Chain A
Amino acid sequence: MIPRRTLLLTAGGVALVHLVIGLVPEPVLSLPTNLVMLAVNLYVAWCGLLLLQTGERRRLGLFVAGYLVLFLLLVALLQRESLFLLLVIVYASVFRNGLLLGLFSAFVLSYVVFQPYAFETFVPLALLWILVWRSARAGTSLFVSASLAVGLFVLGLILLPFLHMLVQETPQTLLQFAGRPEVRQALLVSLSSASLATLIAFLFGVPLAYALVRGEPRGRSLVEALVDLPILLPKPVVGIALLTLLGPGSPLGEMLERAGLGLAGRFAGIVLAQVIVSTPFLIKSAMTAFEGVPEQLETAARTLGARPWQVFGRVALPLASRGVLTGVILCWARAVGEFGAIMLFAPHPLSGSVMVYNEFLKGGVSESRPIAMLLLLICLWVFVLMQFGRALLPAPFSRAPLRRA
């Protein structure tokens, strides 16, 4: 327990301060406010003394400093005494729990300092603090924790515009836009074409990735460069190249058009453009995943009688499945997001990203933002769904398996 003498001294000190405030000729605080504040400050002082009890003088200093910061910010600067009282009670209560204290600071920072951007700053800050705190708690070195903190901060800045956009529109506007048939049509085109493109990429990309990892190493770098090519090219270049080869007026394009298989300006054209720009992501993720499957595991399976395709289907693919799914997510997201190539090669039927652009040209940000948000929400939802799907897949092989007693 706190020694009675210290307790009395502190309580007396706090009371004295409030007495002085109350007795100043022109009182800054009314009598009831002063009384409530006295009670709060007594509580805060008691919390501070509890810190002293644990023998941590440095933390007591921090405690006082935090109190002063809150005071300066809310009372001196913003003149919001009641908010100060409320927050200071919370502050004193959570001070001993670092995680909660961090969240509290993030809350104050977001909702008091960055008030117009409260939600979109609070979410990343809170996440950042939770992750950094857990990393520090796990005994990670200062360097790693600091790298994490700085990196996450920048990541949070990337997140900011999207979170900000999310709170701009009311659900009503969103529903209203989602109800418009042309919007629905465009979103449907985007989602179905991206899914089809991902399926195509999966069917030929995953076996290709496996072949590149397991097959003859000669020529591999050449194929890899080829795979990377669409990532390197600006997307309008892809669009122009496709138009030149398959567009109206080109021999191949005319031939396909006559056969009823025209691509430019058709749904199939959208899919083609998406396959080209998004497959590399799937192939590269799948290659990394297959590289993590030890060859001995496959050799062992073969000596047990597995044909090469059985080794692929029952050993390599299950163990690489998480990486492959990551590739599928990246590929799908890239396909949904494709704009440049589609805009040039197949602007019709209207897809989501093209529609956002068109609406922006016609009506500015306010007309295109709800559609953009719908696209964002759908993508987020699919992303979350797929992330949960990952957990259901077998974990990749790890050389140092977790041994539990």
Chain B
Amino acid sequence: MLELRKLQRCFGEFTLGPISLSLPVRRYLVVLGPSGSGKSLLLSALAGVFRAEPGHLLLDGHDVGGLPPERRNCALVFQDPWLLPHLDVSRNVAFGLSLRAIPKGEREARVRELLELLGITRLAKARPARLSGGEAQRVALARALAVRPRLLLLDEPLSRLDHNSRLELRAELRRLHQTLSLTTVHVTHDREEARSVGDDVAIMLGGRVVQSGPLSLVMERPACPFVARFLGLSWREGGALPGCSQKCMEGSGLCDRMEPTGEGD
């Protein structure tokens, strides 16, 4: 169970949050938003790259908001795989395990299992520099999964891949989630991607969550014209909402309705 309570952080001009959101265990949340909406920052806050204060970040009921990244057990996969170039694939996958006191046999078994799960067993001894984008991203995923994180964070993991690898890995992500049922937060700006992998969706704009909830529900009832357009739906309610200037539709990147319609508080 992941719970955010009024998470907030200022970066000069830009303010992230306050964000309140909750994600039940084993759900796959897709955070969707245009570039500059703060979705990657939200993910960094979850990973612990910076501390988000004021506000609380609860993971399985414990407040982890003040912990450094290494003690949160939230594995993060970036746009670029960021594999350690001096280690081969299996050692990269084993990296997180080698930091813990895990016996060698068990470590090797788990690495083998993960390489198999992601279909990259043949690359076990390859150097990261030799891998294609899709292969490298699979290794990065395996490396993240190896530490059995409580929360898997994916920061636009498919955006640097070519079209075919992207479709392949997208299906793979869905399959992995079904097999491992890890609580996952996946950030993207691609609505197709969001619609094909997510259980839940949170739509961000200007550092805030505009709407969140199960994907089907949000698809059925978008909260405002922006959400509708971003999901590729038509806005049926007609006209503007109270307090909404619809400036966001012209690309201002800001939502001027004070109360975000998020349901997660």
| B82 near A305: Cβ-Cβ < 8 Å | no
Q: How long is the Cα–Cα vector from A299 to B70 in the complex, in angstroms?
A: 9
From A306, A319, A394, contact of B99 by CB (8 A): A306
From A303, A314, A401, contact of B128 by CB (8 A): A401
The reply to whether the CB of A207 lies closer than 8 angstroms to some CB of chain B is: no
| B86 near A395: Cβ-Cβ < 8 Å | yes
| B69 near A303: Cβ-Cβ < 8 Å | yes
Q: How long is the Cα–Cα vector from A304 to B96 in the complex, in angstroms?
A: 5
With contacts A299-B69, A394-B85 taken as known, whether A305 is within 8 angstroms of B47 at the C-beta atoms is no
Q: Which residue of A lies closest to B136 (CB)?
A: A401
Q: Which residues does chain A contribute within 8 Å of B129, judged by CB atoms?
A: 398, 401-403
With contacts A310-B99, A402-B129 taken as known, whether A303 is within 8 angstroms of B70 at the C-beta atoms is yes
Q: Which residues does chain B contribute within 8 Å of A297, judged by CB atoms?
A: 82, 84
The reply to whether the CB of B143 lies closer than 8 angstroms to some CB of chain A is: yes
| A302 near B69: Cβ-Cβ < 8 Å | yes
Q: How long is the Cα–Cα vector from A319 to B128 in the complex, in angstroms?
A: 14
Q: How long is the Cα–Cα vector from A366 to B49 in the complex, in angstroms?
A: 64
Q: How long is the Cα–Cα vector from A401 to B129 in the complex, in angstroms?
A: 5
| B99 near A304: Cβ-Cβ < 8 Å | yes
From A300, A398, A404, contact of B82 by CB (8 A): A300
The reply to whether the CB of B68 lies closer than 8 angstroms to some CB of chain A is: yes
Q: Which residue of B lies closest to A402 (CB)?
A: B129
Q: How long is the Cα–Cα vector from A403 to B127 in the complex, in angstroms?
A: 10
| A401 near B99: Cβ-Cβ < 8 Å | no
The reply to whether the CB of A301 lies closer than 8 angstroms to some CB of chain B is: yes
With contacts A297-B82, A315-B84, A394-B86 taken as known, whether A304 is within 8 angstroms of B75 at the C-beta atoms is yes
B48, B78, B85: most-surrounded residue (chain A CB, <10 A): B85
Q: Which residues does chain B contribute within 8 Å of A61, judged by CB atoms?
A: none
Q: Which residues does chain B contribute within 8 Å of A306, judged by CB atoms?
A: 70, 95-96, 99
Q: Which residue of A lies closest to B132 (CB)?
A: A403
The 0/1 profile, CB within 8 Å of A marked 1, for residues 45-85 of chain B is: 00111000000000000000000111011111010101011
Q: How long is the Cα–Cα vector from A398 to B68 in the complex, in angstroms?
A: 28
The 0/1 profile, CB within 8 Å of A marked 1, for residues 104-137 of chain B is: 0000000000000000000000001110100000
Q: How long is the Cα–Cα vector from A398 to B74 in the complex, in angstroms?
A: 27
The 0/1 profile, CB within 8 Å of B marked 1, for residues 265-276 of chain A is: 000000000000
Rounded to whole Å, the gap between the CB of B130 and the closest CB of chain A is 6
Q: How long is the Cα–Cα vector from A80 to B95 in the complex, in angstroms?
A: 71
Q: Which residues does chain B contribute within 8 Å of A299, judged by CB atoms?
A: 47, 49, 69, 76
The reply to whether the CB of A22 lies closer than 8 angstroms to some CB of chain B is: no
Q: Which residue of B lies closest to A296 (CB)?
A: B82
With contacts A303-B47, A306-B99 taken as known, whether A401 is within 8 angstroms of B85 at the C-beta atoms is yes
| B78 near A305: Cβ-Cβ < 8 Å | no
Q: Which residue of A lies closest to B144 (CB)?
A: A304
The reply to whether the CB of A220 lies closer than 8 angstroms to some CB of chain B is: no
Q: Which residues does chain A contribute within 8 Å of B100, judged by CB atoms?
A: 305
Q: Which residues does chain A contribute within 8 Å of B72, judged by CB atoms?
A: 303
**Which 5 pairs show the lowest CB-CB distances between chains A and B?**
A394-B86, A304-B96, A401-B129, A303-B76, A302-B69
Starting from the known contacts A297-B82, A304-B143, 17 additional A-B residue pairs (CB-CB under 8 Å) come to: A296-B78, A297-B84, A299-B47, A299-B49, A302-B69, A303-B72, A304-B99, A306-B70, A306-B99, A314-B99, A394-B86, A395-B85, A395-B86, A398-B85, A398-B129, A402-B130, A403-B130
Provide a sorted-by-A list of 17 A–B residue pairs whose CB atoms are within 8 angstroms: A296-B80, A299-B47, A299-B69, A300-B76, A302-B68, A303-B69, A303-B72, A303-B76, A306-B95, A307-B70, A310-B99, A314-B95, A319-B84, A319-B85, A395-B86, A398-B85, A403-B129
